[in-house]
Structure 1
Amino acid sequence: MKKAFLIAAVSAALSLPTALFAAEPVEFQKIPQIMSQFDSADLYVKKAPTLGRLPKQQELGQDFPTYVADGKGGYTLETNNIMTDDVVVASMHRPIVDEVYNQWLIPTDVWVDTYGDLPTSTEFESFKRITTIKAVKIDEQMLELLGSTDGKTAVIKVSWDDKGMKVYKDGYLADYEYGIAPKEMHENYELAK
């Protein structure tokens, strides 16, 4: 009995280090089974306006975390970036919880292509998205293709964070290079008409 327990304990201890390392971000654009789904993907438009502002001087060079809903009434860290002077701070109107908002950084050229005009101050202004996105729902099969280790999430490669971006089952992959969490998709996007 003691020997069986000892073998189980050693086996568990040896498997622990692999559990401590997060999966490498996966570049979904290189997976043909995923990219072929975009050929017939639905077009979505953001129904909720996006708030946008220029970075504040004291924010430059500082960490900028992006939080999303965790599906359990709270929030979780999605990405962490360094604030630069060539981005726009984008934000949803309503908080995820309490005073925690889904806010993220968008390069200024991408912002102009997506929303038209740049914000003119460091205070949030409201903008309506002028472009549509193609998006495909993330299911179990897609999570497997993305190397999911828990069957609920995966990490995709993105240009703005070397650690990648976490995507969620029942969320969506957008045709550019990002994911949209289920709650954010439901609350902020609709099928384009």
Structure 2
Amino acid sequence: MKMIKTIFAASMFTLTCNVFAAPVEFQKIPEIMAKFEHAQVFVKKDKTLGRLPTDTEMGSVFPTYISDTKGGFIVETSNRVTNDIVIASKITPIVDNIYNQWLVPKSTWVKTYGELPVSSEFQSFKRIKTIKAILIDTEMLKLMGSKDGKTATIKVSWSDNGMTVYKDGYLANYEYGIAPEEMKETYERVKENK
């Protein structure tokens, strides 16, 4: 019986370590950062909706939903609404009335879109800022401590739990990942002037 309890405890410890592994700060991995020297440049194709939070949203927890690639959705992150953020949204829903919406610090929003929204009603904004992004391959996932060879968790400033990145997705030169489906639907490569 004692042996069974020991095996059970060890397996639970392993499971806990795998599920709750600390997010990795990919900016501290030289092999990954070297890839950004030759990274492709992208810009968002579509406009992004943006609005200021309402008074009733202040201090509340705001979930960000993404596609589960099976016709449904999952929660990617949850963050607290403050008066220093803009609520961003894709124009089309993931499914039914569920939209991919996320919180952006106002200073980042201005650098990315040029101006702040002026109300709590969504307005349309065109991204002015480009990103450099690199493809997430098997080697990169290993460098980031992937447990399943398909995903890894990177450190981000807006969530203590980090952000999941996916094989065949991209790492952006700031601090986030772009899932393969989102990259295909949302971004286009910027042609370089020669």
Aligned position for 1:92: 90
Counterpart of 1:82 (choices 76, 80, 83) is 80
TM-score w.r.t. structure 1 length? 0.92
Counterpart of 2:100 (choices 72, 91, 102) is 102
What secondary structure sits across from 1:93 in the alignment?
A: coil
What secondary structure sits across from 1:155 in the alignment?
A: strand
Following superposition, the deviation at residue 16 of structure 1 comes to 2.4
Following superposition, the deviation at residue 13 of structure 1 comes to 5.4
Whichever residue aligns with residue 161 of structure 1, its letter is S
Change (3 A) 1:97 1:9: farther
Structure 2 portions without partners, runs of 5+: none
Whichever residue aligns with residue 144 of structure 2, its letter is L
Aligned position for 1:57: 55
Structure 1 portions without partners, runs of 5+: 1-5
Aligned position for 2:12: 16
Following superposition, the deviation at residue 19 of structure 1 comes to 0.9
**Rounded Cα–Cα distance in structure 2 between residues aligned with 1:23 and 1:171:** 20
**Rounded Cα–Cα distance in structure 2 between residues aligned with 1:104 and 1:23:** 24
Following superposition, the deviation at residue 23 of structure 1 comes to 1.3
Counting only pairs closer than 5 Å after superposition, residues 1-193 of structure 1 correspond to structure 2 as: 11=7, 14-20=10-16, 21-193=19-191
What secondary structure sits across from 1:25 in the alignment?
A: coil
TM-score w.r.t. structure 2 length? 0.92
What secondary structure sits across from 1:66 in the alignment?
A: strand
Following superposition, the deviation at residue 10 of structure 1 comes to 6.1
**Rounded Cα–Cα distance in structure 1 between residues aligned with 2:173 and 2:43:** 13
Task: Provide the aligned length of Structure 1 versus Structure 2.
Answer: 189
Flag as ranges the 4+ runs of structure 1 deviating above 3 A. 6-13
- Please tell me the root mean square deviation across aligned C-alpha atoms, in Å: 1.8
What secondary structure sits across from 1:187 in the alignment?
A: helix
Task: Summarize deviations over 1:8-60 as a string: whole Å, max 9, x none.
Answer: 89645521232134110000000001101100000001001000000111001
